[in-house]
C-alpha cells in the first residue's frame, strides 16, 4: 500500500499504532498554513537526500505535503525504493483539513524543527 486516507491516519493515531509521521510541505507553504497534523515532524522536502537515512525502518512512514500530489507521492516513492514502508496522505494537509481532523498550531518551537 502506498497511500493512506486522512481518516485512516486518524484511526492509526487513535489506536496508538507505531509509525513515523512526516510533514514534507515546502517551508513557505507550511508557514502560511500555520498548522500541522499533531505528532508530525517537519523535514524540508528539498533536502530529502540529506535526511532519507534518518527515517526509522522498523515502522511505516506516513508523509503529507500540501495537496498530496508531487511532493508527498514522490518522496514516499523514493523511500519505498530504499526499502521503507512509506505512504503518502491522500489529498495531503488540505485533505486532512477538509476532513475536519485536528491540527496543532505552529509555534516558534515547532516552526523550524527539522
- pLDDT tens, per residue, the chain with 114 residues: 699 999 999 999 999 999 999 999 999 999 999 999 999 999 999 999 999 999 999 999 999 999 999 999 999 999 999 999 999 999 999 999 999 999 999 986 555 554
Cα angle for residues 37, 10, 85 (degrees, 5° grid):
85
pTM, full prediction: 0.92
Q: Is 58 exposed, middle or buried (0-12, 13-18, 19+ CB in 10 A)?
A: exposed
Query: Using an 8 Å Cβ cutoff, are 87 and 1 in contact?
Result: yes
- Cell readout for 104 is 496543532
pLDDT of 77 reads 97
> Can you tell me the distance from the alpha carbon of 92 to that of 10, in angstroms, rounded to the nearest whole number?
13
Name the DSSP letter for residue 53: G
Amino acid at each position: 500500500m502506498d497511500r493512506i486516507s486522512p481518516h485512516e491516519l486518524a484511526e492509526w493515531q487513535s489506536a496508538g499504532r507505531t509509525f513515523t509521521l512526516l510533514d514534507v510541505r515546502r517551508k513557505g507553504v507550511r508557514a502560511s498554513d500555520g498548522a500541522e497534523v499533531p505528532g508530525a515532524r517537519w523535514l524540508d522536502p528539498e533536502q530529502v537526500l540529506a535526511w532519507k537515512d534518518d527515517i526509522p525502518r522498523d515502522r511505516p512512514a506516513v508523509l503529507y505535503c500540501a495537496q498530496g500530489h508531487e511532493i508527498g507521492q514522490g518522496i514516499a516513492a523514493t523511500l519505498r525504493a530504499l526499502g521503507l514502508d512509506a505512504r503518502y496522505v491522500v489529498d495531503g494537509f488540505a485533505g486532512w483539513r477538509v476532513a475536519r481532523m485536528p491540527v496543532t498550531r505552529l509555534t516558534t518551537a515547532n516552526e523550524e524543527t527539522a
